[in-house]
């Protein structure tokens, strides 16, 4: 492993709303090394997207409070001005947005949208930028890039648009790409294509990738490490193998159980996690998952567990009643 | 794009046809014999005979239309029996004033509305936004005929500049200083109403656009605020603005007569009011036709502009 590219320490993002403070991200710490893929997994509303945008420094500045520290390649992101962030965006860190239907400007040719990053950020002239943009479009697998350069987003399919979004993110060779549910808006058949593309580009350009998803299947073969989030907090983290086969936190288990598997008999009911994620604006004492947890005891409802080390290095979990440690849990 | 324009052109021809039928029928809609309507009850039989011949009034009405539209297409809108001058030449003398007035007022309105709306939208409910919204509401609630009277009171009478009147009016070509001086107040008056409209439309669309994901993406590319505002947000936000401008300018062409009449500016609006007052129906008919076609053309032009701004419109 190479040196640390990203160091997140006790990061908290709190929204100030009319009904009170909502801690969307409540004290998250992790590291990311060079040329690594980190998967962040959680249900809707677990704070994944807010975490991603906070790391990017893209969170709106009004009515949002961010504390803690995000060191990106040695630069502090928390509290940095938009002006400072502008020097890091695109060149240090770039984002692949969730929905390619809304993340591209509908009235701008796609070539221009890639071009302008190159021209504004790298000072390329018109011709060089154009040539590079066509090169990028080719690299992300857009056929006849030369003519597609002049297309408007509406003239492309969802998968093609997401490729354009990826090409835009790659334009200034960032060291870190944050992909926030990059395939949620796409057909299943296209999902694998896009994820494989991200994977191969990561190798090719030796970047790091943070892959955010609600689908454990997406990160299973692609991430080197996985963070499981619940209610704005990390509940389990570790090497992908450990999280899949030696998970200790019941939530991770429930999440794995609730994803459909090819080996399931036909018409089997899919396991669901009862209840809903907690409302973060009314904080409860204890473990946030306790109300939905089959293993919850009295203690879980009053005292919040903190992350503790499991046996494998880097594998940590937050639970008072962890699942027993086993050798290879059944692959799920 | 070409197909889109051609399709719109076909529609345009259809609309102009309907307008022409309407304007033609105007004379026949009035109670009584058209000759009496046009010439008045005291007309001499000789004059009635001339009119019958000129308008082909003894032929079937469909044939009358074709005679009339043939003349119109040759630029002949008939000769007014009231002023004994050709309707076409009266209109030719008047319409450049309308165009100039609209042009000046729109330049003023856009020049003020666009930058202020952009600035306002950057911080919705900020101090500037609140001030401008309150100010535009105030302007909105004052009708143009009050604005012009106030302006005349303050600028012309108190300060003694910008005096106007139909007899003292000169064209831009013959003396641009005097021309602009006399058009300053009506331009400002028409501009205030347009400004409020454009400011409000663009402001709310800009606020909506700035919430869009592609704006966040543009930020994440490290582009400057200025670039994001003008290159990314302005264009998609200006579709409704152009539509509004088309309708508004059409409305100014058709309804700018209040200001023209109050200040005695001899444009089409002024001429129309005078023609109605003197029962000069041929002139009324001619102006209605020209103004209607003008409104249609203006809307066609703005539709075209809109399709340039938003490529999705012409592609569907």
Three-state DSSP state, A27: strand
Query: Which pLDDT belongs to residue B161?
Result: 66
| Residue whose entry in the numeric block shows the structure tokens 């993340």 | A103
Three-class DSSP labels, B47-77: HHHHHHHHHCCCCCHHHHHHHHHHHHHCCCC
pLDDT digits (tens, 9 = 90+) for A88-138: 999 999 999 988 889 999 999 999 999 999 999 999 999 999 999 999 999
Nearest to A213 by CA among A51, A9, A67: A51
Give A-chain residues touching B217 at CB under 8 angstroms. Answer: 95, 97, 103-104, 165, 168
CB pairs under 8 A between A and B: 81
* Contact state of A82 with B225 under an 8 Å Cβ cutoff: yes
Give B-chain residues touching A106 at CB under 8 angstroms. Answer: 214, 236, 310, 312
Other C-beta atoms lying within 10 Å of the C-beta of residue A176: 23
* Contact state of B223 with A58 under an 8 Å Cβ cutoff: no
CA-to-CA distance for B34 and A56, rounded, in angstroms? Answer: 77
CA-to-CA distance for A62 and A54, rounded, in angstroms? Answer: 13
Three-state DSSP state, A125: coil
Query: Which pLDDT belongs to residue A328?
Result: 61
Q: Output the CA torsion sign for B216, B221, B224, B229.
A: negative
CA-to-CA distance for A249 and A27, rounded, in angstroms? Answer: 18
CA-to-CA distance for A290 and A193, rounded, in angstroms? Answer: 38
* Contact state of A102 with B212 under an 8 Å Cβ cutoff: yes
Q: For residue B42, give every residue at least 6 positions away whose Cβ sits within 8 Å of its Cβ, in sequence order, or none.
A: none
Give A-chain residues touching B122 at CB under 8 angstroms. Answer: none
Nearest to B122 by CA among B1, B226, B263: B226
Cβ(A34)–Cβ(A176) under 8 Å?
no
* Contact state of A120 with B223 under an 8 Å Cβ cutoff: yes
CA-to-CA distance for A29 and A9, rounded, in angstroms? Answer: 4
Residue A89, Cβ density class (10 Å: 0-12 exposed, 13-18 middle, ≥19 buried): buried
Query: Which pLDDT belongs to residue A1?
Result: 43
Give A-chain residues touching B223 at CB under 8 angstroms. Answer: 86, 116-117, 120
Nearest to A316 by CA among A231, A228, A245, A224: A228
Closest-approach residue (CA) in chain B for A167: B221
Interface test with B, best of A80, A107, A108 (most B CBs within 10 A): A107
* Contact state of B223 with A117 under an 8 Å Cβ cutoff: yes
Tokens read off for B126: 């900020």
**Crossing angle for the helix pair B2-29 and B61-73, nearest 10 degrees?**
120
Tokens read off for B62: 């469909």
Q: Which helix (H) or strand (E) holds A229?
A: strand A225-230
pTM: 0.85
Just give the CATH number of B93-315.
Answer: 1.10.3720.10
CA-to-CA distance for B204 and B36, rounded, in angstroms? Answer: 54
Domain boundaries, chain B: 2-73, 93-315
Tokens read off for A189: 């058949």
Write out residues in chain A with pLDDT < 70, as ranges.
1-2, 327-332
Query: Which pLDDT belongs to residue B206?
Result: 96
In this structure, the strands spanning A233-239 and A316-317 are: antiparallel
End-to-end CA distance of chain A: 28
Query: Which pLDDT belongs to residue A329?
Result: 55
Mean pLDDT in each 10-residue stretch from start to end of chain B (316 residues)? 86 92 84 75 80 78 87 88 87 92 95 96 92 90 85 78 64 81 87 94 95 94 94 94 94 83 87 88 90 92 90 74
CA-to-CA distance for B243 and A190, rounded, in angstroms? Answer: 38
pLDDT digits (tens, 9 = 90+) for A47-65: 899 999 999 999 887 889 9
């Amino acid at each position: 492993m190479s040196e640390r590219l990203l160091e997140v320490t006790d990061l908290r993002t709190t929204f100030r709303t009319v009904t009170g403070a909502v801690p969307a991200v409540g004290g998250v710490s992790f590291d990311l090394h060079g040329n690594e893929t980190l998967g962040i997994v959680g249900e809707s509303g677990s704070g994944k997207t807010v975490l991603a945008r906070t790391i990017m420094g893209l969170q709106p500045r009004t009515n949002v409070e961010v504390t803690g520290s995000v060191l990106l390649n040695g630069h502090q992101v928390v509290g940095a001005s938009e002006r400072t962030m502008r020097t890091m965006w695109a060149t240090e860190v770039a984002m692949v947005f969730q929905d390619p239907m809304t993340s591209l400007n509908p009235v701008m040719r796609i070539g221009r949208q890639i071009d302008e990053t190159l021209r504004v950020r790298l000072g390329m002239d018109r011709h060089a930028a154009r040539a590079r943009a066509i090169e990028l479009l080719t690299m992300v697998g857009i056929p006849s890039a030369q003519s597609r350069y002049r297309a408007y987003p509406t003239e492309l399919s969802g998968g093609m648009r997401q490729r354009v979004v990826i090409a835009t993110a790659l334009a200034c060779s960032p060291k870190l790409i944050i992909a926030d549910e990059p395939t949620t808006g796409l057909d299943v058949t296209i999902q694998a294509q896009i994820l494989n593309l991200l994977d191969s580009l990561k190798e090719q350009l030796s970047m790091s990738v943070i892959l955010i998803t609600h689908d454990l299947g997406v990160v299973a073969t692609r991430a080197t490490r996985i963070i499981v989030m619940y209610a704005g907090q990390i509940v389990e983290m570790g090497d992908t193998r450990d999280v899949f086969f030696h998970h200790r936190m019941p939530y991770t288990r429930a999440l794995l159980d609730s994803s459909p598997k090819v080996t399931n008999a036909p018409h089997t009911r899919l396991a669901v996690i009862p209840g809903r994620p907690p409302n973060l604006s009314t904080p409860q004492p204890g473990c946030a998952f306790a109300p939905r947890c089959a293993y919850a005891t009295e203690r879980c409802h009053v005292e919040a567990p903190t992350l503790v080390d499991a046996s494998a290095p880097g594998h940590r979990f937050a639970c008072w009643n962890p699942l027993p440690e086993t050798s290879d849990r059944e692959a799920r | 794009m070409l197909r889109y324009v051609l399709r719109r052109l076909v529609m345009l021809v259809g609309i102009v046809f309907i307008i022409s039928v309407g304007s033609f029928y105007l004379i026949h809609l009035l109670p009584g014999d058209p000759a009496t309507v046009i010439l008045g009850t005291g007309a001499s039989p000789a004059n009635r005979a001339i009119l019958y011949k000129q308008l082909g009034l003894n032929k079937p009405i469909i044939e009358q239309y074709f005679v009339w539209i043939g003349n119109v297409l040759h630029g002949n809108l008939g000769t007014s029996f009231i002023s004994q001058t050709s309707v076409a030449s009266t209109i030719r003398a008047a319409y450049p004033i309308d165009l100039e007035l609209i042009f000046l007022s729109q330049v003023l309105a856009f020049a003020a509305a666009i930058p202020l709306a952009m600035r306002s939208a950057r911080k919705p409910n900020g101090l500037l936004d609140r001030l401008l919204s309150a100010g535009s509401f105030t302007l909105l609630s004052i009708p143009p005929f009050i604005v012009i009277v106030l302006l005349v009171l303050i600028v012309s009478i108190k300060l003694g500049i910008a005096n106007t009147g139909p007899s003292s009016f000169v064209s831009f070509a013959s003396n641009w200083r005097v021309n602009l001086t006399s058009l300053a107040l009506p331009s400002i008056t028409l501009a205030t109403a347009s400004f409020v409209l454009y400011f409000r439309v663009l402001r709310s669309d800009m606020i909506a656009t700035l919430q869009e994901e592609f704006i966040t993406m543009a930020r994440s590319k490290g582009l400057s605020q200025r670039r994001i505002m003008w290159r990314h947000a302005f264009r998609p936000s200006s579709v409704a603005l152009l539509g509004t401008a088309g309708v508004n300018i059409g409305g100014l062409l058709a309804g700018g007569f209040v200001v023209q009449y109050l200040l005695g500016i001899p444009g089409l609006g002024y001429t129309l009011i005078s023609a109605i007052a003197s029962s000069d129906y041929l002139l009324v008919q001619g102006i209605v036709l020209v103004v209607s076609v003008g409104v249609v053309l203006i809307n066609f032009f703005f539709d075209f502009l809109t399709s340039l701004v938003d490529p999705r419109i012409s592609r569907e």
